[in-house]
Amino acid sequence: MATKFLSLACIRNESSSSSSGSRGGLSPRPHYPSMPKYPKGVAVQQNAMEGSETKSLFSVVGMTCSACAGSVEKAIKRLPGIREAVVDVLNNRVQVLFYPDFVNEETIRETIEDVGFEASLIQDESNERSTQVCRIRINGMTCTSCSSTVESALQAIQGVQKAQVALATEEAEVYYDPKVIGHNQLLTAIEDTGFEAILISTGEDMSKIDLQVDGVRTDNSMRIIEESLEALPGVQAIDLYPELNKISLSYKPDMTGPRTFINVIETTGVSRRFKAKIFPDGGGGKGTHRKEEIKQYYRSFLWSLVFTVPVFLTSMVFMYIPGPKHGLETKVVNMLTVGEILRWVLSTPVQFIIGWRFYSGSYKALRHGSANMDVLIALGTNAAYFYSVYSVLRAATSPHFKGTDFFETSAMLISFILLGKYLEVLAKGKTSDAIAKLMDLTPETATLLTLDEEGNVVNEEEIDGRLIQKNDVIKVIPGTKVASDGFVIWGQSHVNESMITGESRPVAKRKGDTVIGGTMNENGVLHIRATRVGSESALSQIVRLVESAQMAKAPVQKFADRISKFFVPLVIVLSFSTWLAWFLAGKFHGYPESWIPKSMDSFQLALQFGISVMVIACPCALGLATPTAVMVGTGVGASQGVLIKGGQALESAHKVNCIVFDKTGTLTVGKPVVVNTRLLQNMVLAEFYELVAATEVNSEHPLAKAIVEYAKKFRDDAENPSWPEVKDFVSLTGHGVKAVVRNKEIIVGNKSLMLNENITVPMDAEDILKEAEGQAQTGILVSIDGEVAGVISISDPVKPGAQEVISILKSMKIRCIMVTGDNWGTANSIAKEVGIEVGKDTVIAEAKPEQKAEKVKDLQTSGYTVAMVGDGINDSPALVAADVGMAIGAGTDIAIEAADIVLMKSNLEDVITAIDLSRKTFSRIRLNYIWALGYNVLGIPIAAGALFPSTGFRLPPWIAGAAMAASSVSVVCCSLLLKYYKRPKKLDKLEIRGIKIE
């Protein structure tokens, strides 16, 4: 079950957002919480949030396995107001973070007991434990068995709350209690399992940077630099690498930054001989490691070819050419020939030097009681090699022995496997292209401005983009990328934000507007004050979200994990059984001797069948089937403005057959606008709006703001309009406002206000009000000097394309339901407009946040897989309860944290894109499993000789090895085809109509 977030703002806004407003039931578009950091299936580090959040610890008696833990966690998270629940089976505890306005400790305790376990609240320790997260890169994993071994080793450590190891990304994400264990012990535990562990990050509240320091000659110099840096506020950790002249710093970006570090280093010491800069290649990140791994496999493959090609020629080619054949068959000692010696000498470096990685991998795996792909390769090649050595030694000591060696089998087997691994890492590197492209969006350099006290520019300096610190002022010229998240303090331009939000149209930016780092400035110069830098930036958080999504395992992957535990031992048993069966059949003349090739005997034939079975069965393809597809799918989604938080969300989304839509801000724009004006007196519209706006500009009501915004159209200076002076302004809560403007009494409000002020409402105005109500609009009456002068119709317009999207969803056999806190009249009118059938089961109005969640749960009880699409904080409980929560995001505040899928463009079309992409991704996962399993189901019997009696066809071990390597490559390539995903053609034909405002 997912990590779900709620904001207490839903409680504060409940009354205003779930009921009709004082002038017609339109609520303003809510603010978004900050960017979510982790996908479903991943626990989250404790962050400071607004509102009164409570943490409680429960003792739970009776839990025995992960299934028990899962049922307890699921039951708790179904309750409203639960932010997080972490179940510790080993210590029989459950830690719950919740909002007491929604749920209390007794309800949680009763819920746990309803599942079937005895629960009690632990009073004293509820706030003692904390959670920290660290990400670790793991080098050397080859298959699912390796990742499972590391994961088990981490989860067995006391203090570790959760550990996830992803084979495809070669990373681990560990959630642990820092009071019990440190990250160094986690690294040691991984290295004890036989893999190299490199710390990527610890904690989410800090940034990390690597600096190269030149001019350091002694350890004392490094110590002085370290002490100087440690003294800075905000520096949290320093790691020194004297051999590389490298310093790694973890720091709080709102307190300090890299320019400060470089300045401190360069001013340290008497002679100021130290020079610092950002470490090249980011200090050896994931990309550098991937490139190095590709180079290693490429070099190993080339070296293996140098030795294997001659072995192949002497055993397969030259034996059929008379001249070379005679030379190779020349006897040296007894029956030992020149050819056998050559093959032995050439294959030995391949077996023991180039193939050493397989011995090393096997030893590490077997030492921890597991068996992986390396074990199969080592057994297969050793069987071929050492039988060949036995054959050669026997020939050298016997005048009559005539045997056949299999040196070409072991050498060619290793060569083809290395080729397969090279192609596999090459393809796996492409699965994370989406993240690489996102990270490449940030510009390498930025122009830093120095301002004087009056705000005038006194200096410009070009700096490395990574050296930007909070509150820096950055100059962005046309055609360059915005270097950091921030807001405009000078200038105006249009910025193309499609690379972040997926929205193709450039967005106008002027003073006060926010900008996102990595977006493209198009036509004007902007001065921007940096607000979020490093790991805080929207781009960094999107990257982290996508990376975390790729770490989270889809439930379907458990299937592969279960199989992989027994796969290798089963293959070894099958291989031995195959050899034994063929050997015994040959020994007791179970088949004609004519079946045995002239160059070998029955033992050698049986041995070849056994080796072929051992090397053709590869657990790699099975282990890569799900994660590679999830990686590519989430990456493609991010590039299309759809952030999918991991395999859990993908798997649930493809099953969705019912979608619950919030109204305000989801089906509608979420912002009241003036859509119609009807004057009942002869006067100029501009003059009418001048009087109304002057009256309403003093009101904070969202409808008043909509009127003032519309009135700006009639002013020469629309940005900073000046309104006439207002006297005797009075705000009448729930009714409207009145004031004196230009010696005229202006009253703006609803019908009851006019009646209270003894103003007669003419029949024309009554008719206009009724017409507005029928169209889900709010009618505002305007009186000038005691007479109704006009009616302003205000509406929250339906989003462009909403009707078409609902129509397409229906054609996809997905039921559509609308739920809103607004009144029934408005709800039914909007439902009709977008094409949702009006009925008690399809339109729910005047619903409070918890009632929205109840509706979702009722639908789930009826057998539906429910997606909830919402944008407001008051939608959080329903987003939590739904199988898939989809949040409509906007600008830099990209997401609602309770959601599993974030639609960054705020377009409803992306609901269809998200569901379609999840279906395509999941069908690719199924295809991968069919291929990986089908390959082994067909390949193993053929390798075992099932076709040999009837057709004489047998699979030599080296061809079996090539086929095994090809299976992994084909699965990764199958996943890579998702990169060419195109959204449904129906959406391309969709003509999004504009919002017409009269």
Using an 8 Å Cβ cutoff, are 178 and 143 in contact? no
User: Which CA distances in Å does 353 have to 75, 248, 527?
Assistant: 55, 35, 59
Strand partners of residue 673: 795
Residue 640 identity: Q
Using an 8 Å Cβ cutoff, are 63 and 89 in contact? yes
**Burial, 491: exposed, middle or buried (Cβ in 10 Å; 0-12, 13-18, 19+)?**
middle
CA distance 983 to 232: 50
Using an 8 Å Cβ cutoff, are 95 and 59 in contact? no
Kindly provide the b/e burial profile for residues 141-160, where b requires at least 16 CB atoms within 10 angstroms of the residue's own CB.
Answer: bbbbbbbbbbbebbbebeeb
> Which residue is catalytic, options 662, 796, 822, 910?
662
Kindly provide the b/e burial profile for residues 946-958, where b requires at least 16 CB atoms within 10 angstroms of the residue's own CB.
Answer: bebeeeeebbbbb
User: Which CA distances in Å does 874 have to 81, 130, 248, 799?
Assistant: 11, 28, 42, 20
Q: Which of 614, 624, 611 is nearest to 564 (CA)?
A: 624
Q: Which of 273, 914, 330, 987 is nearest to 633 (CA)?
A: 914
CA distance 474 to 467: 12
Q: Which of 169, 196, 201 is nearest to 183 (CA)?
A: 201
CA distance 744 to 725: 11
Q: Which of 134, 163, 135, 160 is nearest to 150 (CA)?
A: 163
Which secondary-structure segment (H or E) carries 844?
A: strand 843-844
Distance of CA 562 to the CA centre of its chain: 24
CA distance 526 to 544: 28
Beta strands in 398-523 (DSSP E): 445-451, 457-464, 473-476, 485-490, 493-496, 507-509, 514-515, 520-521
Cα separation of the two ends of the chain: 48
Q: Is 135 helix (H, G, I), strand (E, B) or coil?
A: strand
Q: Is 290 helix (H, G, I), strand (E, B) or coil?
A: helix
Indicate if 796 belongs to the active site: no
CA distance 981 to 565: 33
**Burial, 647: exposed, middle or buried (Cβ in 10 Å; 0-12, 13-18, 19+)?**
buried
Using an 8 Å Cβ cutoff, are 652 and 810 in contact? no
Strand partners of residue 210: 248
Backbone angles phi, psi at 247, to 5 degrees: -125, 125
**Which tokens belong to 441?**
């969006």
Using an 8 Å Cβ cutoff, are 645 and 548 in contact? yes
Using an 8 Å Cβ cutoff, are 153 and 368 in contact? yes
CA distance 168 to 976: 13
CA distance 580 to 326: 36
Known catalytic residues are 662
